[in-house]
Structure 1
């Protein structure tokens, strides 16, 4: 009986301890939330911060219903405490207006995360009227998002947008080009017609026709954001000093207007790299077959690609200089190789400075089969030492086959290069050897007699 009473008392004691721990933890969480919102706690009061806490929870639930990730809400609301001063019904109306702009869930979350002040109801109601007055048949989600963010940060209203669009239309741009400008260059909202005119006049002075301007600005709207005196004229002078002809310069701008995005002095470094390349003649001819100016721009694009993945500009130039074949490959192929190197093989792209040959080999025929063989051998414990990127890429195909494929028959199908199932195509048609076989003639009696006499003379 005493033991049963003691057990009941112990169970009650454990329950009481657990309950007290839960109550203490809940109180601490409420107090920490209150401190993060700068709400003072007064002694002797029964949680005066409860109203703010309930407001916080309601706002978090509302944002979560509209697609905000729950894992990001705590940091988002902690950094934007001013949202608690908004009425919950006003925030819901603001989110409804954003959805009426045909914004997708991802765009809605992005615009509110990057600029939470757009949730102000009065601001969105002005832009609801402003967007409805646009003469466009359709406006892209990206353009609406950029206009809202830019106008909220710089206290702009729909009047600025209408004035800017009228200036663009006066220059002669189509509706599609104007939408592209709002997508890529939202600060065009505050530019006037005179600023647009100066850039258009410069392009006409270097030989661009008026009917070509719309396509150029649609392809690269950023050109309207460049300063004529501070950027375009010095860049044009650099092209001339490097020896490029005016017609070549005009042709390349029409083909790819992004060539005007090069920094001052950047094209000179690319040209110097091309002049000092040490490679086989066929590779050099492929690089320069469409002109030196285009080859310089292709080098610039690949340097930018490598820099986006963590290399500094000097190392990126060294990689291209040591592996000129990478200039021949398309940018999509280089991006695919770097992503495979980082995500699948597990190496930092900065290691390309040590093994630049990785960018010069074929992705489908060499990189993927070799990596698949090494992964299979690693899974069965067939590797004595770890295989680095240099060991993976530098050996010839036959040497790699002899080292890692030939001793393991199951790797034949994975590697594929020397697999027995692959039919080796002969260089000549079957039976061609018969055409080169000397014609035979029957021996006559005189021939047999001569042969017999010759053999007797040898005895």
Structure 2
């Protein structure tokens, strides 16, 4: 009976799963696959495959023009409208950008901030516009600034031509006009009357035109500063701090960026200088060129630390604890911070606890000590992890005795106290003998006098 039941079950399954006969059109159809594919699903899968292919082709094209493969996925994902552009048009747009003599790094920068620049009609319009500016050699930096500003604020080539004409009519040199648009493209959208007011103000503080032209060349943003709410209160602060008009004028000629100070910034920097506790030699070097210059140098260092992620209060604290940072060039400070973050893997906030890092020599101390510790870490020679404090705080001799002397192979890396580098004596050997008093032999009379003196004393 069990055999009969099993036979019926197998026959039932075979009949139910068998394809329908044409003679029975109304019979229900059952497929071997449980899921039924509709035309909509077929079209959506085809669209996804087509879009994926477009993404791959666009990524390959952008990679040829300088994009890093690791950044392409996020870039295309954030700017999916680029997939609607024809690849032929995109390649033509990239060719126009190259014809502007832009470096691949600049092209990547423009497209990262303003991907809409890839629109072919937009670039063709500016290709004609740049040729009509009346400038002999249009710099790539000017082209980059204008393109980025144009796509954001819908600027036309005629607006740039009008701005160039206005600046030249005021008397600025061609080099200065180019530099202004490169560094401060917002001047294109400014009212010409506001630019004239700033020029008149600079003339009013008795600056000759040559110096005004130089100030705008090195600090183009001065043309965008508000006179009533920014510049005049700043000059009032200069006077309240005891600086004469002549002193302020001379400093502006040397450092035009002083005009970009916020009201109150200089006062805080000068308060920090007054409260410094450092060696007299360091303090004299800081104040060597006047209090105004020193206060501005403090401001530059604080801004540098804030650009790298430090809050304002902590930046002032670092400069207060390590005044030598005021004497170092900004390039040297930037190099130390980049090495700290990129190479050593520390956070910028570590400088609050170890500000001495910014006050030591980069090549002779920071790099050498880091190389020694990295070598020992790779060989398992460090018993415990050495932080930034343990690397910077010890003196050179102590660091040598701790991490270099026990490992002879580290002496070539460190180099400072290496046995191969013999330290030359500062004075000739045996010089101390010349300062030793000359001794004379005692005579019989001297011995007799000494004997009589001792007997009288006894």
Superposition TM-score tier, normalisation by shorter sequence: 0.7 to 0.9
SS at 2:135's partner residue? coil
Residue number in structure 1 paired with 2:120: 121
Q: Is the 1:41–1:48 Cα contact (8 Å) retained in structure 2?
A: no
Shift in alpha-carbon separation, 1:351–1:46, aligned structure 2, 3 A: closer
Residues 77-88 of structure 1 aligned to structure 2 (within 5 Å): 77-88=76-87
**What is the CA RMSD across the aligned residues, in angstroms?**
3.1
Q: CA deviation at 1:81?
A: 3.5
Alpha carbons of structure 1 residues 69 and 236: separation in structure 2 relative to 1, 3 Å: same
Distance 1:240 1:58, change over 3 A: same
Q: Does 1:256 align with 2:255?
A: yes
Q: 1: distance between equivalents of 2:234 and 2:224?
A: 15
**Which of 40, 43, 68 in structure 2 is aligned with 1:42?**
40
Deviation, 1:54, is 5.5
Instruction: Report what 1:217 is aligned to.
Output: 216
TM-score (norm 2): 0.81
Residue 271 (structure 1) shift:
0.8
Confirm or deny that 1:96 pairs with 2:100.
no
Whole-angstrom distance in 1 between the partners of 2:63 and 2:392: 48
- Deviations 1:204-256, CA, capped at 9 Å, x for gaps: 22222111111111111111121112211122212221211111111111111
TM-score, normalization: structure 1?
Answer: 0.81
- Give the deviation of 1:105 after TM superposition: 2.2
User: Is the CA contact (8 Å cut-off) linking 1:143 and 1:183 kept in structure 2?
Assistant: yes
5+ residue gaps, structure 1, are 1-39
User: What's 2:232 paired with?
Assistant: 233
For 1:421-451, what per-residue CA distance to the aligned partner results, in whole angstroms no more than 9, with x for missing partners? Answer: 433343434564565465678x8xxx86647
Q: Provide the residue aligned with 1:160 in structure 2.
A: 159
| Change in 2 beyond 3 A, CA 1:352/1:453 | closer
Cα offset for 1:273?
0.4
Q: CA deviation at 1:360?
A: 2.0
The verdict on how the C-alpha distance between 1:269 and 1:63 changes in structure 2, with shifts beyond 3 A counting, is same
How far apart in 2 are the matches of 1:46 and 1:416? Answer: 67
Question: Closer, same or farther in 2 for the Cα pair 1:44/1:269, shift >3 Å?
Answer: closer
1:119, distance to aligned residue in structure 2 (A) = 2.5
* Alignment match, 2:303: 304
How has the CA–CA distance of structure 1 residues 151 and 283 changed in structure 2, closer, same or farther, with 3 Å as cutoff? same
Point out where structure 2 has 5 or more consecutive residues left out of the alignment: 1-37
Which of 1 and 2 has greater Rg? 2
SS of the residue corresponding to residue 138 of structure 2 reads: coil
5 Å-filtered alignment, 1:371-390, equals 371-390=370-389
The question of whether the paired residues in 2 share the 8 Å contact of 1:42 and 1:48 is answered with no
CA distance in 2 between partners of 1:51 and 1:392 (Å): 56
Tell me the equivalent position of 2:280: 281
User: In 1, distance between residues paired with 2:313 and 2:231?
Assistant: 25
Residue equivalent to 1:345: 344
> In structure 2, what is the Cα distance between the partners aligned to 1:389 and 1:55?
49
- Deviations along 1:36-79, one digit per CA (max 9) or x if unpaired, are xxxx9825658563666665555444444444444444443343
Greater displacement, 419-428 / 101-110: 419-428
What CA distance in whole angstroms lies between the structure 2 residues aligned with 1:100 and 1:254?
Answer: 38
What residue in structure 2 maps to residue 150 of structure 1?
Answer: 149
Alpha-carbon offset, residue 361 of structure 1: 2.3
The answer to which of 340-349 and 255-264 deviates more is: 340-349
Are residues 311 and 73 of structure 1, via their aligned partners in 2, closer, same or farther at CA, if it must alter by over 3 Å? closer
For the residues of structure 2 that align with 1:250 and 1:456, how far apart are their CA atoms? 84
Indicate the residue corresponding to 2:359 in structure 1.
360
State whether residues 163 and 192 of structure 1, in contact with CA within 8 Å, keep that contact through their aligned partners in structure 2.
Answer: no
C-alpha separation between the residues in 2 aligned to 1:313 and 1:155? 36
Residue in 1 that maps onto 2:318? 319
- How many matched pairs? 416
- Contact 1:171 1:196 (8 Å CA) reproduced: no
